[in-house]
A and B are shown apart, each in its own frame.
Chain A
Amino acid sequence: MAPSALSAADVRSVLARAMESTAVLAPVRRGRSSFAFQWIADPAEAVFSYPRTILPPKQALLPPREDLFVFQRAPEPAVRPPAAPDPITLFGVHPCDLAAIGQLDWAMQERHGICDPNYAARRAHTTIIGLECLPDEYCFCPSVGTAHTRAGADLFLTPVGEEFVAEALTEKGEALLASAGEKRAPSAEARDTWEHWAEDKESRVSRRLKAQPKELPDLLEAEYESEVWEATAARCYSCGTCTSVCPTCFCFDVEDVVEVGLASGARRRQYDSCQFLEFASVAGGHNFRGERPDRVRHRWFRKFVHLNREYGDAFCVGCGRCTKFCTADIGLVEVLNSIVEASE
């Protein structure tokens, strides 16, 4: 489908259309330079340009806390799946976060041939409007091949000057685009910027992984005993920030919560972190990753060795969140590169 041009006002009318039938999650300004994905009540709340949110749009598909099911204990025990989720639209999703949704789809719906019903119910009623971006010093999307992701988006917007070049990638996207009125072809100038966006984007990225994602499993395994894990662990606080902001992390804990009166409640899952001390401990006292270097290594191995092999690509989209928000300033790419260098 040929790209078309949208003004900012057109984009807001697309949003207004989406809001007629779905809840809309969009990047919203929170502070002078901080942005967060929030459920908006007015298209004017959404911003069209932002560096990176702390929490990824994953929160709409795999919420930090959700009921797997609700139950009643008395008079007779009974369990009931949660209410069907409302349809949602995710607006302003950067290419790395689009790629992350693709990875989550695999992890939650396809891995081991087992489909997570709660995730799938949300995902089935999700519309995605992607938004092109320019990288900052934390981004390394080209190193993991996610810089130009379109897959997953129904409609994709590239901001050029005051306007947007819009690509409808699905029928849902077509319908949204149609809500902005008569189609307009982008100006020759806009088209030119749009066509050169990819090159320009790549050229701005300074953080680079010194190996191909496919080479990492063997490289890292050869450095299983590397001092890098100890050295990184010596700085790490096991705070779990890195995993909680990551758009591809999906580990969770499950617990029962009971309402006052004890008659009803819910089995609830919430994000968990492999960096927490108790993550791999079992009743009776044994902890399979009781030492911090073991937990630190596990994070890199899970993303770049094990899931990399199983999925066929690094389980990281280069968004830079874990590095930017790390309490101890630990750089994900720096750690990988020191491993690569050690093996050279």
Chain B
Amino acid sequence: MTQTRSRRAGPDPSGLYLPRTARVVRAENLTRQDRLIEIALPEGQALGHRPGQFVQVSLLGYGEAPISVSSGPQQTGSFELCVRRLGNVTTALHALQPGDPVGIRGPFGNGFPMDHLVGRDCLVVAGGIGLAPLRSVIHSILARRERYGRLIVLHGARREEDILFRDEIAEWQQDPRNEVLLTVDEPTPGWKGRVGVITTLFPEIEVDPANLVVVAMVGPPVMYRFVILELRGLGIKNDQMFMSLERRMKCGVGKCGHCQIDGRCVCVDGPVFSGTEIMAMHEAI
């Protein structure tokens, strides 16, 4: 770890906790609990994010929540968030309508190592709302499809109606270089896909472990452990896996202490960590 004692403070910090007042451009329910919200910053400002980064979204009087940017960096003029309704802030965010103001800070965090993906196959492992940040990676790949190899997406949801971005998934599947495999925990009548947790999809894919990068976000820590075991089984090394971790966050800028895993700040050093980093930490998964 580096000694940062003498490092200088950044540029004018006065805006650190002040959100920019952005506007909702479009909002639509994707599932009964997930809402896609398209947002434009004031005066046409660009967000300038990398896939895997997040913003602190706030509604004055309700509070703030960290939410991953779900659109790709190629989309300019606006960006998208996919918000699952879980508590105070996320419920208030679900009530947003086009034209409504919304506070934005960020983007924050490191993001996925997109350069590392160039020329390689990409395996996306997305449990539930984990598809939100990974969609940004997918959009980035699709925008410059020729730079990348195969794109394999594994997505697990509780029920068929909880599967995110179904229309887009159908589009992704039009291209023979892309593959999408879906599974649900609770099958409803008519469901023809797989049943079970996301790891049930692994035996169905064939990958070239030497030329593959995995990006994943899968939910509770135990799921990460299972996924890592499966990936190892496929011959994939720790330094080829990049996982986005979730922690409680209050500041997003390395001050409040909530997001710490061992010696790392998820909001600044993460949220994306390599398998090697994750295995070296006690508290990660």
Contact = CB atoms under 8 A, between A and B. Distances in A.
Chain B interface helix/strand/loop/mixed: loop
Interface stretch (B45-53, B60-68, B157-165, B209-217): B60-68
Contact of B101 (A77, A281, A286): A77
Interface stretch (A4-12, A52-60, A65-73): A65-73
A111 B8 CA distance: 9
A267 B246 CA distance: 23
Contacts of B221: 286, 288
A69 B283 contact: no
Contacts of B64: 254, 267
Contacts of A106: 4-5
Contact of A111 (B4, B63, B86, B103): B4
B181 interface: no
A35 to B, nearest CB: 28
B16 A117 contact: yes
A109 B9 contact: yes
Interface string B1-20: 11111011110011111110
A302 B261 CA distance: 10
A114 interface: yes
A260 interface: no
Contacts of A19: none
Interface residues of A, number: 58
Interface residues of B, number: 49
Interface of B: 1-5, 7-10, 13-19, 21, 58, 60-64, 86-87, 90, 101, 103, 220-221, 246-248, 250-251, 253-258, 260-263, 265, 268, 282-283
B61 A256 contact: yes
Q: Which of A115, A265, A305 has the most CB of B within 10 A?
A: A115
Contacts of B17: 68-69, 117-118, 267
Interface in A281-316: 281-284, 286, 288-289, 294, 298, 301-302, 305-306, 309-312
A114 B283 contact: no
Nearest to B61: A258
Given A106-B5, A267-B17, A282-B246, A256 B60 contact: yes
